Amino acid sequence: MLKHNVNLIVNRSRHSLAVSAKASLLTVLRNDLELNSPKYGCGLGECGACTVLVDGVAARSCVIPACGVAGRSITTLEGLGSLSDLHPVQRAFIDEQAAQCGYCLSGMIMMTTALLTRNPDPSDDEIRNELSGNLCRCGTHLEILKAVRRAAELMRVAAGGGIS
């Protein structure tokens, strides 16, 4: 199979890889870079389990050709925060116990991060609408909603905006 050299910026690190022209970003992230947070769910970009940020915008990595994001900034859950310095969205999801099986969790956190970057104070309807494309079968929807509200609060505090 013909391989192409592609330069990716993933979690602020540069990677030069030889990948198949048909390889999805998800495949490269998981198989070549050994990043396990984006999950294979449907392979159609419909479930949200594979969500990452591309230049800060939520994107479904299972339907994006890896060659198509060369030179762009890609962020996975592994690059959002660290165990010693969690991102406010990660902290909020933990504090609100918004995960059970964890399969959808990475996608939910990445979608929430993109939402709160665009809209620091979303309404419950805006949150529901934003996350409606991320499938969760565990029944933690109320906890996820609370986690997004809490993350918005934490991000406002971190930005110096205080608690509303």
The pTM of the full predicted model, rounded to 2 decimals, is 0.93
> Based on the domain organization, do 94 and 124 belong to the same domain?
yes
> Based on the domain organization, do 27 and 70 belong to the same domain?
yes
> Does some domain include residue 163?
no
Q: Which residues constitute the domain of residue 136?
A: 88-158
Position 30 scores a pLDDT of 98
Residues in the chain: 164
Q: Give the CATH number of the domain where residue 134 resides.
A: 1.10.150.120
The structure tokens listed for 34 are: 């050994």
Position 23 scores a pLDDT of 97
> Based on the domain organization, do 124 and 146 belong to the same domain?
yes
> Does some domain include residue 164?
no
Mean pLDDT by 10 residues, the chain (164 residues): 92 97 97 97 96 98 97 98 95 92 92 97 96 86 95 92 60
Position 162 scores a pLDDT of 63
